[in-house]
Amino acid sequence: MKENQNTDIIELTDKNIFHTYSRYPLIVKKGKGVRVWDEKGRQYLDFLSGIAVCNLGHCHPAVVKAAQSQLENLVHVSNLFYTEPQVEIAELLKGQSFADKIFFCNSGAEANEAALKLARKYAHGFSGGKRFEIITMKYSFHGRTFATLTATGQEKFHNGFSPLLPGFKYVPFNDINAVEEAVTESTCAVMLEPIQGEGGVNVPAENYLKEVRQLCDREKILLIFDEVQTGMGRTGKIFAYEHYGVEPDIMTLAKALAGGLPAGAMLANKKVAQSFVPGTHASTFGGNPVVMAACVAVMKELVDGEALENCRRMGQYFFKELNGLKEKYSDIISEIRGKGLMIGMELKIDGNEIVKQCLDEAIIINCTLDRILRFLPPLIVKKDEIDGCVDVLDRVLGRQ
């Protein structure tokens, strides 16, 4: 594997690894800050952050250092024992959120799986099993395990996997009447992303989340926020719910939680959390010391560093620049929406081709639902890097 190493990597991937992803023909060798490099040393601006994972940029020094030093002391010991990094990150997360208790796991789907189980367990306790139904949103995305796939309100992900889990209902996002109509005596929870990610970067209407909260309180229904993508500073606050003056009963985190290492967390208030007791839920790797040490570094950086402020400032600048493109290409671009550095550009044409052409010009972006370009740069992105991305978009859109 020397001479044709690079063709080999692509060929051998396609030959040996399940073809569950359509990949771009780019072999990434190195990452630092907002940049990644391929095997020929060509540099790319990463405006996707590994899909909202590397929020502090690639290989953030504090994260690398924290993981490295933990790696040399203790890698794993299981949850049959106590470890310090779990406590440290739990205190930090609690200090910044509504939560009283936290369960650690390894991914977004697992965090949502835990949230769905907790909601049912809690409702089971006071309703004798009569309340089990969960209302989620159309165009939501919650993961690929059976429960989280069922919770995901997009048929294209369901195809071929029926029967799905019973007890789920879908309503349109941003329609409080639809939620109200969907509630029955069997409803135990409403679950939603404060800003929908995979479903097209859909921002909640002015009072929507407040109205959902009020409805849940009135009907004694739990409110679950999936902040797997919106959490950890992405929208300019540590958690997106902080923008909207509401608190959920349960919140899930993953993606950027450990700065690139796999981590997930399910956070809940006291009332709900006590429904989980020894034996109700578990994860072998959940709360792994190396991963938790990385989480601590990420959280400290968000709380004490400049990333959040930069995200808000650069988010506004990027928004303004993208709206400039919208004026110029009003025949192609229909809307710019989002919050902080979670931004979508809805097109009137196929976006996949635009993504490819941007990649040819060394800019990594993404497209969801075939028509919405998604920008998720690291929160540390600088003005000149945004200018670089906007210049390339300008050129690429000018050719359409």
Ligand X SMILES: *Cc1c(COP(=O)(O)O)cnc(C)c1O
Based on the shown chain and the rule CB under 6 A, indicate whether residue 136 belongs to the binding site for ligand X: no
Q: How many CB atoms lie within 10 A of CB 285?
A: 17
Shortest separation between residue 387's beta carbon and ligand X, angstroms: 28
Q: Which is nearer to ligand X, 45 or 201 (CB)?
A: 201
Based on the shown chain and the rule CB under 6 A, indicate whether residue 234 belongs to the binding site for ligand X: no
Catalytic residue among 169, 237, 255, 339: 255
Shortest separation between residue 106's beta carbon and ligand X, angstroms: 8
Catalytic residue among 46, 103, 104, 226: 226
For the chain, what is the radius of gyration of the CA atoms?
21
Q: Which is nearer to ligand X, 194 or 388 (CB)?
A: 194
Write b or e for each residue in 217-246: b if 16 or more Cβ atoms lie within 10 A of its Cβ, otherwise e: eeeebbbbbbbbbbbbbbbbbbbbbbbbeb
Q: Which is nearer to ligand X, 101 or 144 (CB)?
A: 144
Distance CA 63, CA 67 (A): 6
The footprint of ligand X on residues 51-80 (CB under 6 A) is none
* Residue 226 a catalytic site member: yes
DSSP string covering 278-320, please?
TTS---SSTT-HHHHHHHHHHHHHHHHSSHHHHHHHHHHHHHH
Name the segment binding ligand X (CB under 6 A); options: 5-13, 97-105, 138-146, 340-348. Answer: 138-146
Distance CA 252, CA 279 (A): 21
Q: Which is nearer to ligand X, 333 or 376 (CB)?
A: 376
Shortest separation between residue 386's beta carbon and ligand X, angstroms: 23
Based on the shown chain and the rule CB under 6 A, indicate whether residue 339 belongs to the binding site for ligand X: no
Based on the shown chain and the rule CB under 6 A, indicate whether residue 229 belongs to the binding site for ligand X: yes
Shortest separation between residue 41's beta carbon and ligand X, angstroms: 30
Of positions 143, 231, 233, 236, contacts ligand X by CB under 6 A: 143
Shortest separation between residue 191's beta carbon and ligand X, angstroms: 10
Q: Which is nearer to ligand X, 69 or 284 (CB)?
A: 284
- DSSP 8-state secondary structure symbol assigned to residue 74: -
- Per-residue H/E/C for 163-215: CCCCCEEEECCCCHHHHHHHCCCCEEEEEECCCECCCCCECCCCCHHHHHHHH
Q: Which residues contact 203 (CB under 8 A, 6 or more apart)?
A: 195, 337, 338, 339
Of positions 60, 142, 234, 374, contacts ligand X by CB under 6 A: 142
- Reading phi first (left if > 0) and then psi (alpha if -120 to 50, else beta), residue 220 is in left
Q: Which residues pair with 333 in a beta bridge?
A: 347
Phi, psi of 281 (to 5 degrees): -160, 155
Distance CA 376, CA 356 (A): 17
Name the segment binding ligand X (CB under 6 A); options: 22-30, 106-114, 161-169, 309-317. Answer: 106-114
Based on the shown chain and the rule CB under 6 A, indicate whether residue 228 belongs to the binding site for ligand X: yes
Q: Long-range contacts for 17-25 (Cβ within 8 Å, ≥24 apart)?
A: 24/356, 24/359
Residue 279: exposure state from Cβ atoms within 10 A (0-12, 13-18, ≥19): exposed
Distance CA 284, CA 180 (A): 39
Based on the shown chain and the rule CB under 6 A, indicate whether residue 107 belongs to the binding site for ligand X: yes
* Residue 255 a catalytic site member: yes
Based on the shown chain and the rule CB under 6 A, indicate whether residue 49 belongs to the binding site for ligand X: no
The position carrying tokens 């029955």 is 184
Catalytic residue among 47, 98, 104, 141: 141
The footprint of ligand X on residues 245-264 (CB under 6 A) is 254-255
Judged by CB under 6 A, the number of residues near ligand X is 15
The footprint of ligand X on residues 164-203 (CB under 6 A) is 193, 197-198
Report which residue's Cβ sits closest to ligand X.
Answer: 108
Based on the shown chain and the rule CB under 6 A, indicate whether residue 108 belongs to the binding site for ligand X: yes
Based on the shown chain and the rule CB under 6 A, indicate whether residue 149 belongs to the binding site for ligand X: no
User: What are the residue numbers of the active site?
Assistant: 141, 226, 255
* Residues contributing to the site for ligand X (CB under 6 A): 107-109, 112, 141-143, 193, 197-198, 226, 228-229, 254-255
